[in-house]
Structure 1
Amino acid sequence: MTSSDHVSWRQHGQARLPNFVYIGPSKAGSTWLHEVLMVHSQVFMTDAKDLYFFDRYYERGADWYAEHFKHAGPEHAVVGEVCQEYLSCPEAPQRMHDLLGPDVRLMVTIRDPVARGFSGYLYMRKHGVFDGTFREALETRPGMLEHSRYATLLDRYLDCFGRSQIHFGLFDDLVEDPQRFIDGVLNFLRIEPMRLEDQLLAARLPASRARSRHLASAAKRGANWAREHGSTTLIGRVKRSSAVQRLLYTELDDRPTPREEDAAYLRGRLRPEIERLEEMMGQDLQARWGWTSS
């Protein structure tokens, strides 16, 4: 593979800007993807994912953003960012187009909204930020529903970028065959294939609950503070520390599942979105997720 085969990129000052961005959503394997790409010799990734530049911190300017990628070298054909919230930000597509250019490569991973929503609910419980039922979360936190309107959210990106610029991954494929999943990503990025090591063939963080909800909540606030102050390297090291994870969380013996009536409620609200998404992707997602009988 020659340099001319690689994805093009832009420069800001002395730093290269990303030519690849994972845009979301959350609870769809973004941490795993970030960890895998970090060990690829042709890829430069920040130490921690979720810079939130194109949504929360855009006013900090391109200099602030470019600073995170200043150590990318000529050996890196891909300079990338993983941020799970960009998909749901209305302004992010045009901002990316303006700063990174029309040729930037984007990726989204589609997950069954029922499973993804319930995973998000467990995450809130784990970090002590919500104490109600799953149904109460769906009814009182609009983002849980709105962030699963995949087709509507993707329309904004398709208005700014060509369909060929967006790689659609399926979370089901990641779970069933991680090697094949990452093969598709690397092919999209036009870089050399890699064989996954054993520890990367499974998701990094298993389902867990907080040993202390107060401690987990404090840790979450600390991470937010560190991110606000640009300490992404510290965040990355803490997240990859098995000792810290053991201190904060304990694995669940049996992963809970949503009540069927709650799952049916969510399917009913989102079915039109998924039908449009099926047209975009050319796949029968409802059959894959077992929605056809509900």
Structure 2
Amino acid sequence: MAEQTPINFLYLGGDKCGSTWLHHVLSRHPEVKLARAKELFFFDRFYEKGWQWYLSQFPDGSAKRTGEICHDYLYSNAALKRIARDTAPDSVYLITLRNPYERTLSHWRYLRKIGRTRLGFCDAVRELPGLTDHSLYHSRIQAAFDTLGRDRVRILWFDDLRRDPALFGMGLCAALGVTHIEDLPYSDRVLEGGTARAPRLVNLLRNVGWALRAIGAPAVVGKVKSHPWTHRILFSNRASRSSADEIDDSVRSYLAACFDSDIAKLEHLTGRDLSAWRNWPAQSA
């Protein structure tokens, strides 16, 4: 199968680490062909639909890199094994990593935005384990290296994106082996803040979206989610903000116990100095 597939790159994760920005930029690159919808969830949730269904989710035509942006694959060992088996031998797999403290805070803000929780941050990190679990990277990266081949996994850093989007874009193009194009919208901010105007309605629509994905219509979901009127209708501009300065010492200690040893292991695995991550919140998320 690998010899027949045109799929030769995937974004694996993490979530709340810049995947929407990546999709925004790469969808405009002439040497990259993305699926019609961001996040097909094929390799982890909808694999039973089959390879031909997956290929049908991509537009016609050839490109130097053809693939998908889906931030959940990093968190599924089954997905990684399927990806290793089914994608092309010259595939490249992108991962972006973000300060785990900041990623957790961003994840909580997102859950508040879509009406999935009303908990404050300090309560949420203790009662919603997914907030911190998705910020533990070491074992996920090791699994990706072991399953896909370390030489084919490209790790990018959210800190670099925030510091210099244009330079990050240059590195992104180099990671994919495509031409660097200077006038792509590297500096665009692509996610709006806000809170759900009607949380129950937002949750209902999310369930409808998953039902549409289950029957094989992810492109419909993608078009609705990306339409500018969707955000204007469903969300207000009043964001659920929680400054790092407002987080009490017990929660800081709890998060340090969750993350600091994992950060040390990740430094050893990647060779990247991540000491700035331990200084959170030196810069507020």
TM-score when normalising by structure 2: 0.89
2:210 paired with 1:224: yes
Matching residue's letter, 1:158:
F
2:68 paired with 1:81: yes
Q: 2:41 aligns with which of 36, 52, 56?
A: 52
Deviation at 1:272, TM superposition (A): 1.2
What is the aligned partner in structure 1 of residue 258 from structure 2?
Answer: 269
Deviation at 1:275, TM superposition (A): 0.7
- Provide the rounded CA distance (Å) in 2 between the counterparts of 1:212 and 1:80: 35
Matching residue's letter, 1:222:
V
Runs of 4+ in 1 over 4 A off after TM superposition: none
Matching residue's letter, 2:266:
L
Question: Is the CA contact (8 Å cut-off) linking 1:44 and 1:78 kept in structure 2?
Answer: yes
Q: Identity of counterpart residues, as a percentage?
A: 32
Distance 1:164 1:260, change over 3 A: farther
2:1 paired with 1:11: no
Deviation at 1:131, TM superposition (A): 2.3
Question: Is the CA contact (8 Å cut-off) linking 1:126 and 1:216 kept in structure 2?
Answer: no
Question: Is the CA contact (8 Å cut-off) linking 2:113 and 2:240 kept in structure 1?
Answer: no
- Provide the rounded CA distance (Å) in 2 between the counterparts of 1:254 and 1:215: 18
What is the aligned partner in structure 2 of residue 187 from structure 1?
Answer: 174
User: For this pair of structures, how many residues does the alignment match?
Assistant: 278
Matching residue's letter, 1:202:
D
Question: Is the CA contact (8 Å cut-off) linking 2:36 and 2:57 kept in structure 1?
Answer: no
What is the aligned partner in structure 1 of residue 233 from structure 2?
Answer: 247
2:143 paired with 1:156: yes
Q: Which structure 2 residue ranges, 5 or more long, are not aligned?
A: none
Distance 1:135 1:255, change over 3 A: closer
Q: Root-mean-square deviation (CA), in Å?
A: 2.2
Could you report, residue by residue, the CA deviation over 1:110-137 in whole angstroms, capped at 9, with x for unpaired residues?
1111111111111112212222232333
What is the aligned partner in structure 2 of residue 138 from structure 1?
Answer: 125
What is the aligned partner in structure 2 of residue 126 from structure 1?
Answer: 113
Question: Is the CA contact (8 Å cut-off) linking 1:267 and 1:291 kept in structure 2?
Answer: no
- Secondary structure in 2 aligned to 1:55? coil
Question: Is the CA contact (8 Å cut-off) linking 1:22 and 1:83 kept in structure 2?
Answer: yes
Deviation at 1:169, TM superposition (A): 0.9
- Provide the rounded CA distance (Å) in 1 between the counterparts of 2:232 and 2:180: 33
What is the aligned partner in structure 2 of residue 90 from structure 1?
Answer: 77
Matching residue's letter, 2:54:
Y
Q: Which structure 1 residue ranges, 5 or more long, are not aligned?
A: 1-8
- Provide the rounded CA distance (Å) in 2 between the counterparts of 1:244 and 1:137: 27
Q: 1:167 aligns with which of 129, 150, 154?
A: 154
Deviation at 1:278, TM superposition (A): 1.1
TM-score when normalising by structure 1: 0.87
